[in-house]
Amino acid sequence: MIRVAAKLWAFIVRDFQQQVSYRLAFLLQIGGMFLSLGAFFFLTRMIDPEAKGLDGMNPFEWMLLGLAFQYYFSTALYAFSAKVRSEQMMGTLEAMLVSPTSTGLVIFSSAAWDFTYAGFRVLLYLGGAWLIFGISFHLENFPVLILGVVLTLLSSVGLGMLSASFILYFKRGDPINFFLSGMTTFFGTVFFPAEQLPAFLQGVSDYLPITWSLRVVRGALLLGKGFAELKNDLLALTVLTAVLLPAGLFLSRIAIRKAKQEGSLVQY
């Protein structure tokens, strides 16, 4: 366990060291983030706060969390496949896989930094909103919030590993990725509540982890809901995580095995 943690940490350090050389890009990203934050502030003033599905939450705050978590999930989806692809090109995937480190752990850890970085940016985003727009969050149910965030993290790692496995297995652009990003944006209750959709489409949202993540996080942060009120949402998120994470680990091993059969761990 200590060894696994040490390896995970080594991946984070590795990518942090690479990231340091892109300082300007980082500042520009943060700048862009705050501009979009401003745009959404004014945009959401046009939204009826009584709209179905908002459950009395302020539209700007509601959407703010949606955007932050959509950013998180899209990082998850994108980071794994992009990392695996580039390590395949650089030859470093092979270099890692000759070492006595298991395949699953190599894939699992490869996006550890992207997650850390995305988490950091989400915090900045929310902190900025708090400072600039004077939003107040309920923090009294902090443990529930943490639980929700951890489950969000694990389920998105599962999704990311699925998409990386797809890339390794089929060696081409990743339609799963594209599909899931689109689905998340449309059905993930990021921009509008599922209740606004025609009835026969509403159920789709239930299969996306982001829907449940957002129910937990919005409930806890904006309405001050506690464990008792959120336990069904947490349960749904747990079930999805329990499916997605093992599936991601398992399929990444299958994909690496296929790559070893085809000799495609390195690509030119």
Partner 1 sequence: MGHAVEARRLEKRFTRRRSIRDILFHPFRSPEAVQALRGVDLTIREGEIFGLLGPNGAGKTTLLKILSCLVLPDVGTAAIGGYPTSREQLVKPLIGLVHSDERSFYWRLTGRQNMNFFSTLYEVPREARDARVDELLRKVDMEEAADRPFADYSSGMKQRMSIARALLHDPPILLMDEPTRSLDPAAALSLRRFIQDELSGRDRKTIVLATHNLHEAELLCSRIAILMKGKVRQIGTVEEVRRWGLDTRNYEMEVDRWPVEAGERFAVLSDRSWEDGRRVRVALAGEDGLNLLLAFLMERGVKLRSCNQVDADLEGAFARILEAE
Ligand X SMILES: Nc1ncnc2c1ncn2[C@@H]1O[C@H](COP(=O)(O)OP(=O)(O)O)[C@@H](O)[C@H]1O
Cα–Cα distance for residue pair 97/100, rounded to 1 Å: 7
The residue assigned the tokens 């990725």 is 177
Size of the site for ligand X (CB under 6 A): 2
Alpha helices in 98-226 (DSSP H): 103-110, 112-133, 142-170, 175-187, 199-202, 209-223
If you count DSSP H runs as helices and E runs as strands, how many of each does the chain have, helices first? 11, 0
Q: Which amino acid is at 194?
A: A
- 101 binding partner 1? (CB under 8 A): yes
* Contact with partner 1 (CB under 8 A) among 82, 96, 167, 194: 96
Closer of 10 and 239 to partner 1 (Cβ): 10
What's the rounded Cα separation, in Å, for the pair 147 and 170? Answer: 35
> Is 99 an interacting residue with respect to partner 1 (CB under 8 A)?
yes
Q: 198 or 263: whose CB is closer to ligand X?
A: 263
Q: Alpha-carbon distance 121 to 130, whole Å?
A: 14
> Does residue 172 belong to the site contacting partner 1 (CB under 8 A)?
yes
Residues 156, 73: contact at Cβ < 8 Å? yes
Q: Judged by CB under 8 A, does residue 25 bind partner 1?
A: no
Which of partner 1, ligand X, none binds 86 (CB below 5-8 Å, type-dependent)? none
The minimum distance between CB 266 and ligand X, in angstroms, equals 8
261 lies in the binding site for ligand X (CB under 6 A): no
84 near partner 1, rule: CB under 8 A: no
- Separation of alpha carbons 247 and 84, rounded Å: 17
Amino acid (one-letter) located at 15: D
- Does residue 56 touch ligand X according to CB under 6 A? no
The residue type of 216 is: V
- The one of ligand X, partner 1, none whose footprint includes residue 13, by CB under 5 to 8 A per kind, is partner 1
Binding of ligand X at residue 268 (CB under 6 A)?
no
Amino acid, single-letter form, for residue 138: H
Q: Does residue 263 interact with ligand X by CB under 6 A?
A: yes
Query: Closer CB to partner 1, residue 73 or residue 108?
Result: 108
Q: What residues make contact with partner 1 under the rule CB under 8 A?
A: 3, 6-7, 9-11, 13-14, 17-18, 21, 90-92, 94-101, 106, 171-172, 257, 260-265
